[in-house]
Structure 1
Amino acid sequence: MAVLDDVKLLLDIPESDADLDNKLNLIIKNAERQVLSHLPSGLDNVPNELEYIVCELSVTRFNRLGNEGMSSYSQEGESITYGDDIAPYLSAIQAWNNMQKNNTRGVVRFL
């Protein structure tokens, strides 16, 4: 699975380390569902062009483990504020959706 390998690379987890694979696969599956919820119905898989969003959402979610339900976290001068994880990617998803609506080249329709 390419996304799993990319997520492990971004998190500095060796590819050979399979201890977290089940947890990472669940996080990736949930990120895929989150992206798919913003795409036209009928799609079963996230398009390759949007796979980077799944990867980024997965890394963000993994880094939030242990802080579920918190809107912010502060300790010894470090402050983290959590928002809607997918919000920064909605414009890219919408642009992809618009491209699909405008892409009628190569389509055969029988009446």
Structure 2
Amino acid sequence: MASILENVKTLLSLKDNEQDKLLEVIISNTQSRLLGLLPPEYTEVPTKLNYIVEDVAVKRYNRVGAEGMSAESVDGRSSTYQANDFDEYLDDIERLFPDESKNKKGLGVFY
């Protein structure tokens, strides 16, 4: 099975190792941010969520140099960026890791 770095490089059509350090930082930061969305018992991103890490890492790589911008236009090409890279994956995360505090039934005491 290919590593996350190899998959991201394939998605970006990068054939050499010149961008590996940058991609490793982006992947590491993406994993850390994703862990913040998972239940606290997770210390590593589960393998089944690697697709999120890969997709978000590609987005982040494509935005290098445009950090902090919500949109940019270069040579007639316009790009608009999401405010949160994980927004489109929140439903998947909630489905795989439901917030147990929302599902707990209360205990009623009647006098």
Alignment TM-score, normalising by the size of structure 2: 0.81
Letter in 2 for 1:9: T
1:12 matched to 2:20? The reply is no
Aligned-pair distance for 1:42? 2.4
User: For 1:68 and 1:95, how far apart are their aligned partners in 2?
Assistant: 30
Partner of residue 58, structure 1: 57
TM-score, normalised relative to structure 1: 0.81
**Which residue is equivalent to 1:94?**
94
Identity over the aligned pairs, expressed in percent? 39
**Gapped regions of structure 1 (runs ≥ 5):** 102-111
Match of 2:40 in 1: 41
1:40 partner SS: coil
1:76, 1:8 → 2: CA distance? Answer: 25
Asked which structure has the greater CA Rg, the reply is: 2
Shift of 1:34: 1.2
Q: Which amino acid aligns with 2:3?
A: A
The one-letter amino acid paired with 2:6 is D
**Matched length:** 98
Equivalents in 2 of 1:13, 1:76: separation in Å? 23
Specify the SS of the correspondent of 2:4: helix
Once residues 14 and 76 of structure 2 are traced to their aligned partners in structure 1, the CA distance between those partners, rounded to angstroms, is 27
